[in-house]
Copies of this chain bind each other. A is one copy, B any other.
């Protein structure tokens, strides 16, 4: 029997998996930080791991976020057994509503992620339509041919797990996001014994987090941050402390709360995501803060500043978050006071540096003392550095390796680390989203590709904004537009009214009277000349107006607004 005849799974876009092969693929997460969505397939069973979004780069004007193309899963919907979630960050759960609308399958998620997912599904009216299951690190899911177990890891959000998918051909481990924090301030330790057990039993393929592959270090523990935070509370005896961090970083929230309680400060919580995180954290038992230490916003004015901690969102300089509004004076309940100390327990994500600096400048100009930056030891990454990536490789001792969760250069460095721990280079696969890796237990090889284009979500629209629309937005954002209106009679070759010019985002019309008047003359001459042509039609007149007016405006202003002719044809009576 030829290889071809043996094939049972021939999908669109030439994915070819043999009956004795496990397929491993990413719908998102390779060559990028974001939209993590991985799938393990064996015969008629698929398990999907995570359903993340990616935040758009600056040139995706107006795009709210980017999600994967789920077509491959939709085409194989009857095979998809589960969506398994590793933790509750947006790049792992943010697209879950879009995912479930495309592929409504049971969701398995650890408690903190599950609480956040419920909120999302409620907003999208999907809560009742979705089968949700809570998983614990010792959960075991059996789908028939595929089964899944978990191992606890440490990251910058509670309840983070790695996933081991057992297949008849061997075990595939997807680490999720991880660091080895051996002194976590939560009681959630990285379960190295379980990782070692899985490794000892044999790992066919390790898919491991590459985020910090550029850092030749062991990421510092949250306990190290805790000391710095405690020192700040020791030192700041006058005025309020305003503490900003990622809401989901409950370790950081817990440390700030604990230090506050020890120093006689009560806690007010601001920002929607921070309120949600604190509520979820208390419900799930990760924050043991009693009501007496919590302030309502309205209590704030009656509480002495040196007995106050304000927990706030906005550590990334987000312009609508609580902290930015405190900084620029538009927050309704919190006005800056002398002796306020603001702590940024965070590092700016690349791209946010300017926004964060703006908020810091504004806070300092407003008289606050601001504690920020790497020198203050108030932040550590949630991802392991090279040393931890090597530990994971050593614990799992995989036969094959696939670096995931990273841009290309990170994946490449991570590959080098794998080689340095003994994985042969031909057992390592740097793949793209949509690439399929086939494993039969002994060998691994690329087995085709499916479409994995970025899908843009803009407002209520999914995928209805693409490169042409974005290109128009780009042009509009640079130089605006000019609309030329005229009423014409094609039979008599007359211009009955206009042409009039109106613009948006181009120049101040009132201060550019000459430009506009001359532009009208150019348009008038162009329309008249174009109408006189023997084969004149609306299209040719429009094009002539676009060409001539664009040329004129560029000559006068060195700008290229989009020129839109609106020609109304009136017939002779």
Residues of A in contact with B (beta carbons under 8 Å apart): 31, 57-58, 61-62, 214, 216, 350-351, 353-354, 357, 360-361, 364-365, 370, 373, 375, 407-409, 412, 458-461, 464-466, 468-470, 472-481, 483, 485, 487, 497, 502, 504-508, 511-512, 556-559, 562, 564, 566, 568, 570, 573
Contacts and interface: CB of A to CB of B under 8 A. Distances in A.
6 contacts: A350-B354, A361-B407, A458-B479, A469-B480, A481-B481, A485-B568
A302 to B, nearest CB: 32
Contacts of A361: 31, 407-409
Contact of A460 (B461, B497, B559): B559
B57 A512 contact: no
A303 B508 CA distance: 55
Contact of A481 (B370, B459, B504): B504
Given A407-B361, A458-B559, A58 B354 contact: yes
B566 A483 contact: yes
A470 B466 CA distance: 24
Contact of A564 (B350, B483, B487, B570): B483
Contact of A476 (B481, B485, B502, B573): B481
Nearest to A507: B464
Nearest to A555: B460
A95 B1 CA distance: 75
A229 B207 CA distance: 36
Contacts of A512: 464
Contacts of A58: 58, 354
Contact of A559 (B373, B459, B568): B459
Nearest to A375: B216
Nearest to A412: B364
Given A351-B353, A459-B557, A504 B564 contact: yes
A477 B477 contact: yes
A464 B503 CA distance: 13
B469 A506 contact: yes
Nearest to A468: B508
Contact of A480 (B351, B364, B466, B472): B472
A472 B570 contact: no
Nearest to A32: B361
B461 A559 contact: yes
Most B Cβ at <10 Å: residue of A61, A485, A570: A61
Nearest to A362: B408
B31 A507 contact: no
Contacts of A409: 357, 360-361, 364, 370
A557 B353 contact: no
Given A556-B460, A559-B460, A505 B472 contact: yes
A475 B61 CA distance: 10
Given A62-B480, A373-B214, A557-B460, A469 B507 contact: yes
A1 B558 CA distance: 55
